[in-house]
Amino acid sequence: MTERDDEAVSKFIERFALVLADSGVPRMPARVFVALLASENGQLTAGELAEQLSVSPAAVSGAVRYLTQVHLIVREREPGSKRDHYRVRGNSWYESAMNRERLLTLWSEALLEGVDAVGRSTDAGSRLRESVEFFEFLRVEIPMVLERWRSRNATN
């Protein structure tokens, strides 16, 4: 087993955070999430995150708010402690994917309003209906994929 290389870890955090940011995750939440993923026990305080990432506590505050809303991390307080700890969920990717189902429903409902607004028989209406059909397809398929993932992990 090799010793943890803090410099290499910092580089990894920045590189993977950039990948997440290029995928649409806001940059600071991406950095905080990766720092938590790379931490030994998967949890850090806001102060520890600010220090490790060389950012202000306000930046960490906004990032953890975002990450808790999208179910990638949880906020906890240890008994007797006055500081919140932020912990990456063991199944964070799974939880995040499950949360997408709710978003797909919201998007579909909004798009259906658009279909009515632009007219069902127009080219725009056709494009919007196709988007609704795609999101409905994902709403059916994603839970099945996630169930296969859970079954696979249960046997490992």
Distances (CA, A) of 43 to 32, 39, 99, 130: 11, 7, 22, 42
Q: Give the pLDDT confidence score for residue 101 in this predicted structure.
A: 78
User: How far apart (Å, rounded) are the C-alpha atoms in residues 52 and 38?
Assistant: 11
Whether residue 66 has pLDDT greater than 80: yes
Q: What is the pTM of this model?
A: 0.72
Q: Give the pLDDT confidence score for residue 1 in this predicted structure.
A: 55
Residue 3 DSSP symbol:
P
Over residues 108-113, the mean pLDDT reads 92
111-133 core/surface letters (b: 16 or more CB in 10 A; e: else): beeebeeeeeeeeebeebeebbe
User: Token digits for 57?
Assistant: 């506590």
What is the number of other CB atoms lying within 10 angstroms of the CB of residue 61? 14
Phi, psi of 52 (to 5 degrees): -65, -40
What is the percentage of the chain residues whose pLDDT exceeds 70? 96
Rg (CA), the chain: 20
